[in-house]
Amino acid sequence: MSKQQINYIQDFLTIFNEEGNKRHKIVNVESLLKKHSPIAVIVFLEQLHRQYSKRLKRIIRRDITSHRLNDVIAKKFRIKMAINKIKNYSKQGGKTA
């Protein structure tokens, strides 16, 4: 996978705060992809996605108006998009979409 593709995936997994001056990486995908195969990274991200699903269910049961609800939904979406991108790049043999 090219550096550009990895950066694109990392962008899905990076969140800026409301002021836009601090960023938070949900996962450092570049580091993971250097050490592990794309399949292993996908498995890890899918496990993380399931953990956020469980967290989302707990939040909904406790307080559906909680601000944390939006955070978890956004992270789940971003993780799923990163998974899809890695899968697409892997299916295409590493070529850009």
Is residue 87 a contact partner of residue 97, using CB atoms and an 8 Å limit? no
- CA 77-63-11 angle, 5° bins: 20
pLDDT digits (tens, 9 = 90+) for 20-61: 678 889 999 999 999 999 999 999 999 999 999 999 999 999
Cβ-based neighbours of 51, under 8 Å, separated by 6 or more? none
- Supply the Cα-derived Rg of the chain in whole angstroms: 15
The model's pTM? 0.86
pLDDT score of 94: 56
CA 32/CA 48 separation, integer angstroms: 14
Query: Residues 47, 73, 53, 25: is their CA dihedral positive or negative?
Result: positive
